[in-house]
Structure 1
Amino acid sequence: MRFLFIALLTLAALTGCSRFIDYDGPEVTRVVVHKNDRIMLLMHNDEVLESYEVELGFAPEGHKLEEGDGRTPEGEYIIDRRNPNSQWYLSIGISYPNAEDVAQARARGVSPGGDIFIHGTPRPLRRGDDWTVGCIAVSNAEMRQIYAMVNNGTPITIYP
């Protein structure tokens, strides 16, 4: 009996906690983030497929100007990479800095920074409690869904 209980517990742990899920719905054609509203939308053309509350960089006002400023970038970027082993559960990369970001930082003699991601969180989300170093955080359950739905090459627009 004890063996059966341990086997069932192990099976439940292995099948119920997978980070990776399948998605076979409409293609996500754009990701849209509204920083002021702390909302991220997954879009299929003009249709909203999913909406998520988000947490941002610890200094959320304004566009990211340099490494370490704690701001989440604003503008047009691309989802350009995936990290299934992220320290923040799962993550998908945003193509910050773009050429304009690099040029502006170079003109000021600073590094634009980088490694901006949409990722999970080590704790429950608390709306308005911005804590990342410039990334966009969602719950881990939401990140599983986003990771499955959003492909590399998907445009992302981040509004103030």
Structure 2
Amino acid sequence: MTRIQVFKSRREMQLLHNVTLLKTYKFNLGFEPAGHKVQEGDGRTPEGAYLINRRNPNSRYHLSIGISYPNTNDIARARARGVRPGGDIFIHGTPDAYVNQQDWTWGCIAVKNEEMDEIYAMVQTGTRIFIYA
């Protein structure tokens, strides 16, 4: 079974098949990378266990695969704070304008376009993704 592990503080994403490491990728995050996403517009990437829930071959960020944020816990936490949880969190490529910038997304995980080609080919809808601080 394929799975993805994301280590935000190391800016390292691992693609695994069962216990075998297939590939490691470096990436950029949102403009506020520390901490779990708590509300729309906070620039953070969520932390926790999610699924890849959609694929977009026509993304304006080269290619993209969607992360199932927000889940029911995320929604409940946001409601308790009186805010909206946000959404549309993806792993995607990097437009030319952002190639030399660090942490420029709104909470997504951005890899190089060539790497996104590999990831898109190997990761299917339903793949588990674990995002760690």
1:45 aligned residue (3, 12, 18): 18
> Quick one: distance in 2 between partners of 1:106 and 1:150?
32
Partner of 2:33: 60
Partner of 1:3: none
Q: Percent identity?
A: 64
SS of the counterpart of 1:107? helix
1:125 touches 1:138 (CA, 8 Å); kept in 2? no
2:65 maps to 1:92: yes
Structure 1: gaps spanning 5 or more residues: 1-26
Q: Which has the larger radius of gyration?
A: 1
CA apart distance, 1:46: 1.0
1:108 aligned residue (81, 88, 96): 81
CA apart distance, 1:154: 0.4
Considering fraction of residues, name the structure with more helix: 1
> Quick one: distance in 2 between partners of 1:110 and 1:90?
30
Aligned residue type for 2:12: I
CA apart distance, 1:126: 4.6
Partner of 1:143: 116
2:48 aligned residue (72, 75, 82): 75
SS of the counterpart of 2:46? coil
Query: Aligned pair count?
Result: 132
> Quick one: distance in 1 between partners of 2:53 and 2:100?
27
Structure 2: gaps spanning 5 or more residues: none
Considering fraction of residues, name the structure with more strand: 2
SS of the counterpart of 1:131? coil
CA RMSD of aligned residues (A): 1.2
* TM-score normalized with structure 1 length: 0.80
